[in-house]
């Protein structure tokens, strides 16, 4: 058995049509019209092959192919369909389509696995809409409560809880749908690499050994707004100057004082009142720290906090530091890795063992079950941008490896 390249391509290209930014990349936010159109398309395809479909109270889709023993723990694959703004058509979506394709192949060939196999389409993996990543998978395993869902708000100040309610969902009942460890045998997520290694080394598949942890930190600096021309430099309390100095220091701290595997990024800044002739009153920015070793994150954050205190004192600023979200580093299952590697050898697929600097729903599921990941190359290593590209032949190779690995796990 093997997967169908033409069908894989058709699914991905069709989903890419459902964007709120046509001609400027793929933008699909959870609970948006585009999100619903993608879900409608996927559910139609799932029903065509006879999958049992369950949409949980926050919108995660669980599509199940029953096994010989329906009471046996389920084997899961899946990923997400939400994107960053002006993103690409492969991030997350390739893994969802890969899961749909492997289930289609099993149905077409009349294959009955011992364990049930389930495709999960997670909501709000990226976190760009409500300020926290991996909300769908974290809520599914019970890591987030209804109160947490009420605290996650979009740029309009509306909570995920409220938005889900408006779309006809009932988050208050999410506790009845939490996935328990005894219900799951294993999970494999296929995903584009989002980095340069596989592409540069011309290797079609990566077998992931560890996923970096992440800490997302909101830093708020409060100064005094005033006239840009009439206020002497020595009497200013300018939070934007302070933010610039802190951001420059973050780059130095992460490079020089943390671990070689630590990375730190500031990619979102809000300045108020954001006028060209007004000294800013306040500046907020979000720090994204990641490492496969939690020590790297802790070392960086401790030094960065000291720098914030120092700069704020120098410029007469008030500050607040708030942790927006945190995901622990995860070493993936040796059992699942061995199965993926064995299938790759059987199919004569070249592979590389590697780590993931990006977060994935798989690292959340790793808190309750055995987890593995398959990477496929990103051309030029580009992701989260309009220029994101992956060769469809590489996606098929990944899908074939996913199919073989899920078959072994489910039997």
Query: Which of 275, 309, 326 corresponds to the end of one domain?
Result: 326
- Give the domain CATH number at 257: 3.30.70.360
pLDDT of 274 above 90? yes
Are residues 312 and 387 both part of a single domain?
no
Is the model's pLDDT at 327 over the cut of 90? no
Same domain? For 36 and 129 the reply is yes
**What is the distance between the alpha carbons of residues 409 and 340, in angstroms, rounded to a whole number?**
10
pLDDT tens profile 77-104: 999 999 999 999 999 999 999 999 999 9
Same domain, 207 and 227: no
Kindly list the distances between the CA atom of residue 291 and the CA atoms of 212, 245, 300, 301, in Å, as whole numbers in the listed order: 5, 23, 10, 12
Nearest alpha carbon to residue 118 among 220, 172, 181, 186? 186
Q: Which two tokens stand for residue 13?
A: 């290209």
Total domains, the chain: 2
Task: Based on the fold, state whether residues 90 and 135 are members of the same structural domain.
Answer: yes
Question: Does pLDDT of 179 surpass 90?
Answer: yes
pLDDT value at residue 233: 97
248 with 383, same domain: the answer is: no
Domain edge (last residue) among 326, 350, 373: 326
At residue 16, does pLDDT exceed 90? yes
| Predicted pLDDT of residue 375 | 98
The CATH number covering residue 180 comes to: 3.40.630.10
User: CA 265, CA 287: separation in Å to the nearest integer?
Assistant: 6
Is pLDDT of 358 > 90? no
Q: Rounded CA gap, 222 and 108, in Å?
A: 61
If asked whether residues 54 and 164 sit together in one domain, one would say: yes
Are 89 and 198 part of one and the same domain? Answer: yes
User: Is the same domain home to 354 and 241?
Assistant: no
Mark whether 207 and 288 lie in a shared domain: no
Average pLDDT, rounded, for the chain: 96
Question: Quick one: pLDDT at residue 3?
Answer: 98
| Domain limits for position 229 | 213-326
- Region 374-395 average pLDDT: 96
**Are residues 386 and 342 part of one domain?**
yes
pLDDT, tens only, 315-324: 999 999 999 8
Q: Quote the pLDDT of residue 132.
A: 87
Boundary (domain end) residue, out of 307, 326, 345 = 326
Q: What is the pLDDT of residues 122-169, one digit of tens each?
A: 999 998 889 888 999 999 999 999 999 999 999 899 999 999 999 999
Give pLDDT tens digits for 246-257.
999 999 999 999
In percent, the amount of the chain with pLDDT more than 90 equals: 96
pLDDT, residue 325, reads 83
275 and 400 share one domain: no
Q: In whole angstroms, how far apart are CA 126 and each of 15, 30, 53, 71, 326?
A: 17, 9, 24, 33, 13
> What are the tens digits of pLDDT across the range 197-238?
999 999 999 999 999 999 999 999 999 999 999 999 999 999
Provide the pLDDT for residue 17. 97
Instruction: Tell me: do 300 and 350 sit in the same domain.
Output: no
Q: How confident is the model at residue 328 (pLDDT cuts 50, 70, 90)?
A: confident
Residue 359 above 90 pLDDT? no
Distance CA(349)–CA(400), nearest Å, equals 10
Segment 264-273 shows an average pLDDT of 96
pLDDT at position 163 is 97
């Amino acid at each position: 058995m093997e997967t169908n390249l033409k069908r894989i391509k058709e699914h991905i290209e069709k989903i890419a049509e459902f964007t709120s930014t046509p001609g400027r990349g793929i933008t699909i936010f959870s609970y948006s019209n585009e999100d619903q159109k993608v879900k409608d398309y996927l559910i139609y395809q799932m029903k065509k092959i006879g999958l049992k479909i369950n949409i949980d109270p926050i919108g995660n889709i669980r599509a199940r192919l029953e096994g010989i023993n329906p009471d046996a723990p389920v084997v899961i694959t899946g990923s997400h369909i939400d994107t960053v703004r002006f993103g690409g058509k492969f991030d997350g979506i390739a893994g969802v389509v890969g899961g749909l394709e492997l289930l289609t192949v099993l149905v077409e060939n009349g294959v009955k696995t011992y364990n049930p196999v389930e495709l999960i389409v997670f909501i709000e993996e990226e976190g760009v809409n409500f300020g926290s990543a991996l909300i769908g998978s974290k809520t599914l395993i019970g890591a987030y409560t209804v109160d947490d869902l009420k605290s996650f708000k979009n740029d309009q100040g509306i909570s995920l809880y409220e938005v889900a309610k408006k779309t006809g969902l009932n988050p208050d009942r999410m506790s009845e749908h939490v996935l328990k460890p005894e219900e799951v045998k294993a999970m494999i997520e296929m995903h584009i690499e989002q980095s340069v290694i596989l592409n540069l080394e011309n290797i079609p598949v990566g077998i992931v050994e560890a996923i970096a942890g992440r800490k997302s930190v909101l830093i708020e600096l409060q100064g005094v707004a005033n006239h840009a021309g009439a206020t002497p430099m020595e009497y200013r309390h300018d939070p934007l100057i302070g933010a610039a100095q802190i951001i420059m220091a973050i780059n130095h701290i992460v490079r020089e004082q943390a671990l070689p595997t630590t990375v730190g990024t500031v990619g979102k800044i809000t300045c108020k009142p954001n006028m060209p002739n007004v000294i800013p009153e306040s500046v907020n920015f979000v720090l994204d720290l990641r490492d496969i070793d939690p020590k790297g994150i802790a070392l960086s954050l401790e030094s960065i906090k000291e720098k914030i205190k120092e700069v704020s004192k120098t410029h007469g600023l008030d500050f607040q530091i708030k942790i927006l979200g945190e995901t622990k580093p995860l070493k993936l299952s040796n059992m699942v890795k061995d199965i993926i590697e064995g299938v790759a050898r059987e199919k004569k697929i070249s592979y590389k063992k590697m780590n993931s600097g990006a977060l994935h729903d798989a690292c959340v599921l790793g808190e309750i079950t055995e987890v593995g990941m398959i990477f496929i190359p990103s051309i030029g290593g580009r992701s989260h941008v309009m220029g994101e590209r992956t060769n469809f032949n590489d996606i098929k190779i990944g899908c074939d490896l996913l199919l073989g690995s899920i078959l072994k796990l489910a039997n």
